[in-house]
Amino acid sequence: MAMMSISMSGFCHPPSKKKKKDKVYNALITVSTQKSEVVGILKQVSDSAVYLIVDSKEKVVPAETIDKIVLKIKGHVGKGVILGSVAGFVVGGVIGLFGGDDDCDGTTNCITFSTEQRVIGSGFLGSGIGALVGWAIFNNYPKQTVFIGRDPVYFARNADFLRKYSLAARE
């Protein structure tokens, strides 16, 4: 009887609500004073500058040096690679399943594969192809691009839009 009440107690409590993880955005900022882009986590946006976290340090990028800002969800590409890899493994395994067993034609250099070996081999091949497809799709989606053109007035007009993606907006 005691065992019955212990196992039934799990059904009486409501499920715990998991806290939804906030999305963190990487900002790729094309700056007119540098040859390479500045890449970091979007920390804060003021009316005259963008504050990024680059290598655990805060970096301030003034609005008059910004040509464009590209915002991407951090870790989004990794999810695409994982999802593509799993989907490719399943599809490859199904394709390998329909191949059946090989028959040797009697020559000395005959290589045969069983159905199980085909399923696993095709699954791994499909997983590699799926990972590449997942990377290609999720590398470009979703992202937001804001063209500033080194104009502080245009930057100030778009500052509210950019603030939605900053860490300061989530605090």
Q: What's residue 100's pLDDT?
A: 66
Q: Which of the four pLDDT bands, split at 50, 70 and 90, describes residue 128? A: very high
At 32-73, the pLDDT tens digits run 788 888 889 999 999 899 999 999 999 999 999 999 998 887
d(CA 3, CA 104): 59
CA dist list (Å): 41 to 101, 104, 113, 136: 52, 58, 49, 22
3 vs 162, residue with greater confidence: 162
List, in order of start, the domains of the chain with CATH numbers: 23-75+141-170 (2.30.30), 76-138 (no CATH)
d(CA 140, CA 142): 6
